[in-house]
């Protein structure tokens, strides 16, 4: 008999050779029907692997990330078989599961495949899936594995096998198909009920552009047709909300090849939007005791050698700037922290002066590979809503709670309701990885965990995820399409105070090191605006949106009254514009809808006579004819409901 421990701590005594699926059955038939993958002692196993020793078993269903991974990994085998049957002679290379679905990199020889081939491949794959073939793992010797693929003239698999150790090589068979594979499959192909080829793209063998270019076939599969339909709808919606597309339509930002890749240019509406975000945060930060500072965009190379950033960014990022003077080198700043450390160092402090909280909208520059650049989410120059707090370790918990409050205020004011937090702490088994005293780490980790608990955050603790210089807390936000983004990091740092020799005089009259906290609730303004665009689809909260209203005169006759309305709106501090074109009101409304302007104010004969405006909300809601004062109250009420004071 062997003892199998389940995640809830329950122990099952079973005979040697019992499989994970049999254990699932012994718990309940319902569970067994849903189990599609298993892990035994931290190793992925098949659901039919006989267990031969004591250990911990975790069973996965489609609802777990691990379950989906096994499902998509297994589906990539089905894709490979379908491709091989449809296009005999092709050479398969690798086909992993990815975050959403899977792909297979294939050498199609002279053949090219395109979108018109997708339905055929899908049909073939589903046909194979319906055969309910079991996935069967078997060990093969290195020489047998090599001769199998040599006989197929597949130099890619041969190369993969040559790098494997004899005795560790396994094949997976299902139906008439065999693939080199480490394992981790669903019980059989019959569970795959929906199958879709999403796209094809070029990919170099082993990611090296000196190698042959292969065709990467992307696919996704589901246990239910309905889930595929929902996924495709989500993809469609994500395309509509792509921040690069919306940024253009809403005239927020642009890029210029002349200025350079990855260097966004903010247009007037976008710049005004940024400014509103900055003012919003500045106001809250002032209440929270921050002081604004300003530092230059460059610094001497030595500054970043001291901070350690040169080691991290120096070689792989923008190269030093030289001056007419020999041996003088400057770097574009990759981080604001070193500058803020030198601000701290500009005067002596006693413990009574702490905490010091320095905030700056600091623009930093990092060289990202051109292939990594993506709209506003990956750029080469961006502005962080940065701040550094210098405090004593006794103040850590309080400061952390204050930063959590500020971060929550930011998320709530911008319509992010769905978020969790992750606390990253040390790996206690690897103390050599971290700098600073273990007692300090212990205190800092406890301070963060206590702060998160006291603030009622929904959080998980991730051992081993801390940076070498300190533990941290990250906010993970789910957007309207259910995608997860990391926003707002709060990071404790023992490293920079040491490197910059930061001190304060304690109550004992001795010099002590302050603790440093880095924090940025937005992260960067560029990335934040991108996420906000995709989350809201461009329908920003009313307090933030560039144009809150548009006045639409029914005809030329009412232009004068329309102008009067516009002036009056300005007096009420409502951002509005006017559409004076000689077009029908219907057309003007349609275009205002496209521009996502929240309120359309229609003025004609009746409105002019009664000194009112007919108010129509973006999306169609009709408020009828009301006075400007009443409209202004309506706007104020909506703004106050989202933008509470801090
Ligand atoms: Zn496999
Ligand atoms: Zn920093």
What tens digit of pLDDT does each residue of 341-384 get? Answer: 999 999 999 999 999 999 999 999 999 988 889 999 999 999 99
What's residue 207's pLDDT? 87
CB 252 within 8 Å of CB 547 = no
- 335: CA distance to ligand 2 center in Å? 6
CA dist 56 and 59 (Å) reads 10
Say which DSSP state 169 is in: -
Please give the distance, rounded to the nearest whole angstrom, from the Cα atom of residue 522 to the centre of ligand 2.
13
473, 479 Cβ separation under 8 angstroms: no
C-alpha to C-alpha distance for 602 and 589, rounded to whole angstroms: 9
Å from CA of 215 to ligand 2 middle: 42
Ligand 2: centre distance to CA 256 (Å):
30
As a whole number of angstroms, the distance between CA 40 and CA 186 comes to 15
Buried/exposed 72-97: b ≥16 CB within 10 Å, e otherwise: bbbbbbbbbbbbbbbeeebbbbbbeb
Which is nearest to 467 in space by CA: 502, 416, 433? 433
Interatomic CA distance for residues 486 and 287, integer angstroms: 26
**Distance between CA atoms of residues 412 and 405, nearest Å:** 11
User: Is 0.95 surpassed by the pTM of this model?
Assistant: no
The pairing of strands 136-139 and 177-180 is unpaired
What are the residue numbers of the active site? 337, 366, 384, 386, 388, 472, 518
CA–CA distance, 335 with 469 (Å, rounded to integer): 15
Kindly state the DSSP code that residue 429 receives in the 8-state scheme: T
Q: What is the pLDDT at residue 345?
A: 97
Tokens of 224: 């239910």
Rounded Cα distance between 164 and 182, Å, is 11
Instruction: Give the ligand whose atoms come closest to the C-alpha of residue 170.
Output: 1
Distance from residue 365's CA to the centre of ligand 1 (Å): 42
pLDDT at residue 370, rounded to an integer: 84
Task: Give the residue carrying structure tokens 């003077």.
Answer: 325
Q: How far is the CA of 337 from the centre of ligand 2 (A)?
A: 4
What tokens does 438 get?
């273990």
CA distance 218 to 202: 11
- 181 alpha carbon, closest ligand: 1
Q: Encoding tokens for residue 307?
A: 């901070």
389 CA → ligand 2 middle, Å: 9
Please tell me the predicted confidence (pLDDT) of residue 155: 96
Q: Is the CB of residue 410 less than 8 Å from the CB of residue 552?
A: no
Return the pLDDT at 116.
96
pLDDT for the residue 568: 96
Categorise residue 518: left if φ over 0, alpha if ψ from -120 to 50, beta otherwise: beta
Three-point CA angle 391, 395, 398, nearest 5°: 120
10-residue mean pLDDT profile of the chain (646 residues): values are: 93 95 94 95 93 95 95 98 96 95 96 95 97 96 97 96 95 95 96 96 90 96 97 92 95 96 96 96 97 97 92 87 93 96 97 97 93 92 97 93 95 90 92 84 91 93 90 92 88 92 96 96 95 94 95 95 96 95 94 94 96 95 95 95 86
CA 219 to centroid of ligand 1, rounded, Å = 15
Which ligand number lies closest to the CA of residue 178?
1
Q: Is 596 left (phi over 0), alpha (psi -120 to 50) or beta?
A: left
- 135 DSSP 8-state letter: P
Q: What distance in angstroms lies between residue 485's CA and the mean position of ligand 2's atoms?
A: 20
Residue 326: count of CB within 10 angstroms of its CB: 6
Distance CA 451, CA 492 (A): 13
Q: pLDDT by residue (tens digit) across 575-585?
A: 999 999 999 99
Q: Quick count: other Cβ atoms within 10 Å of Cβ 334?
A: 21
Ligand nearest to the CA of 387: 2
Number of other CB atoms surrounding residue 135 within 10 Å: 25
Dihedral of the alpha carbons of 401, 404, 405, 410, in degrees to the nearest 10: 170
Beta-bridged to residue 467, according to DSSP, are 470
* DSSP code, position 494: S
d(CA 128, CA 131): 5
| Beta strands in 435-590, from DSSP E residues, in sequence order | 459-463, 472-478, 484-493, 504-505, 511-512, 515-520, 549-553, 576-578
Calpha distance 589→582 (Å, rounded): 13
Residue 416 exposed, middle or buried by CB count within 10 Å (0-12, 13-18, 19+):
buried
- The closest ligand to the CA of 388 turns out to be 2
User: Which residues, in sequence order, are CB contacts of 252 under 8 Å at separation 6+?
Assistant: 246, 266, 267, 269, 270, 273, 529, 533, 546
H helices of 131-182, where? 142-151, 155-162
CA 557 to chain centre: 51
What's the pLDDT at 371?
81
The order of strands in the sheet holding 55-60 is: 11-14, 2-5, 55-60, 37-40, 43-45
Report H helices in 461-584: 495-499, 525-536, 559-571
Ligand 1: centre distance to CA 177 (Å): 11
Q: For residue 253, what pLDDT is reported? A: 98
Report the alpha-carbon distance of residue 370 to residue 266 in Å, rounded: 20
How high is the pLDDT of residue 42? 85
Q: Residues forming the annotated binding site for Zn(2+)?
A: 337, 388, 518
| CA 439–ligand 2 middle distance (angstroms) | 23
Q: Which ligand is nearest to the CA of 78?
A: 1
Tell me, in angstroms, the distance from the centre of ligand 1 to residue 201's CA. Answer: 22
* Ligand 1 mean position, distance from CA 195 (Å): 17
Cβ distance 375 to 349 under 8 Å? no
Looking at all shown ligands, the one closest to residue 102's CA atom is 1
For residues 36 and 60, is the Cβ–Cβ distance under 8 A?
yes
For the record, the structure tokens of 39 come out as: 């892990």
The SS3 of residue 76 is: helix
- Residue 502 φ/ψ, nearest 5 degrees: -80, 135
CA distance linking residue 25 with residue 614, whole number of Å: 66
């Amino acid at each position: 008999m062997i003892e199998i421990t389940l995640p809830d701590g329950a122990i099952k005594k079973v005979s040697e050779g019992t499989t994970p699926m049999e254990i699932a059955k012994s718990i309940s038939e319902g569970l067994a029907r849903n189990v599609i993958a298993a892990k035994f002692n931290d190793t992925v196993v098949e659901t039919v692997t006989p267990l031969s020793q004591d250990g911990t078993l975790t069973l996965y269903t489609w609802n777990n990330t691990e379950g989906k991974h096994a499902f998509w990994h297994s589906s990539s085998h089905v894709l490979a078989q379908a491709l091989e049957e449809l296009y005999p002679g092709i050479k398969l290379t690798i086909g992993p599961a990815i975050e959403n679905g899977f792909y297979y990199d294939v050498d199609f020889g002279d053949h090219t495949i395109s979108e018109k081939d997708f339905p055929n491949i899908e049909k073939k794959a589903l046909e194979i899936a319906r055969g309910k073939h079991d996935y069967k793992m078997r060990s093969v010797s290195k020489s047998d594995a090599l001769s199998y693929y040599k006989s197929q003239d597949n130099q890619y698999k041969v190369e993969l096998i040559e790098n494997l150790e004899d005795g560790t090589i396994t094949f997976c068979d299902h139906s008439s198909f065999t693939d080199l594979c480490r394992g981790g499959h669903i019980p059989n192909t019959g569970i795959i009920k929906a199958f879709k080829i999403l796209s094809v793209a070029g990919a170099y063998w082993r990611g090296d552009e000196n190698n042959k270019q292969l065709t990467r076939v992307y696919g996704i599969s589901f246990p239910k047709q309905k889930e595929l339909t929902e996924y495709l709808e989500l993809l469609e919606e994500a395309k509509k909300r792509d921040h690069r597309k919306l940024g253009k339509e809403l005239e927020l930002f642009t890029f210029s090849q002349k200025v350079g890749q990855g260097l966004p240019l903010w247009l007037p509406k976008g710049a005004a939007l940024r400014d509103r975000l900055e003012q919003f945060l500045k106001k809250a930060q002032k209440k929270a005791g921050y002081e604004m500072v300003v530092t230059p965009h460059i610094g001497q190379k030595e500054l970043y050698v001291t901070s350690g950033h040169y080691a991290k960014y120096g070689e792989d990022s923008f190269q030093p700037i030289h001056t007419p003077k020999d041996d003088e080198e400057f770097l574009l700043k990759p981080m604001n922290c070193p500058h803020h450390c030198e601000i701290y160092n500009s005067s002596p402090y006693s413990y009574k002066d702490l905490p010091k909280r320095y905030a700056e909208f600091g623009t930093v520059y990092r060289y990202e590979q051109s292939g990594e650049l993506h709209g506003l989410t990956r750029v080469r120059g961006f502005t962080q809503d940065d701040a550094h707090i210098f405090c004593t370790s006794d103040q850590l918990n309080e400061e952390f709670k204050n930063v959590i409050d500020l971060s929550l205020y930011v998320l709530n004011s911008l319509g992010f309701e769905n978020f969790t937090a992750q606390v990253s702490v040390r790996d206690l088994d690897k103390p050599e990885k971290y700098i600073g005293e273990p007692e300090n780490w212990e205190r800092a980790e406890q301070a963060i965990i206590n702060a998160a608990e006291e603030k009622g955050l929904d959080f998980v603790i991730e051992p081993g995820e801390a940076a070498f210089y300190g533990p941290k807390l990250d906010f993970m936000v789910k957007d309207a399409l259910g995608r997860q983004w990391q926003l707002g990091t709060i990071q404790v740092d023992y490293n920079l105070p040491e490197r910059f020799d930061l001190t304060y005089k304690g109550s004992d009259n001795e010099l002590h090191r302050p603790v440093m906290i880095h924090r940025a609730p937005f992260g960067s303004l560029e990335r934040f605006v991108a996420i906000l665009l995709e989350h809201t689809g461009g329908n920003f909260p009313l307090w933030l949106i560039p144009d809150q209203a548009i006045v639409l005169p029914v005809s030329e006759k009412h232009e004068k009254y329309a102008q009067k309305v516009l002036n009056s709106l300005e007096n009420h501090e409502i951002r509005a514009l006017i559409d004076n074109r000689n077009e029908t009101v219907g057309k003007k409304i349609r275009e205002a809808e496209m521009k996502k302007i929240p309120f359309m104010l229609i003025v004609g004969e009746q409105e002019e006579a009664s000194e009112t405006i007919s108010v129509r909300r973006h999306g169609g809601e009709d408020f009828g004819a009301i006075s400007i004062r009443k409209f202004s109250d309506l706007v104020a009420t909506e703004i106050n409901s989202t933008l509470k004071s801090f």
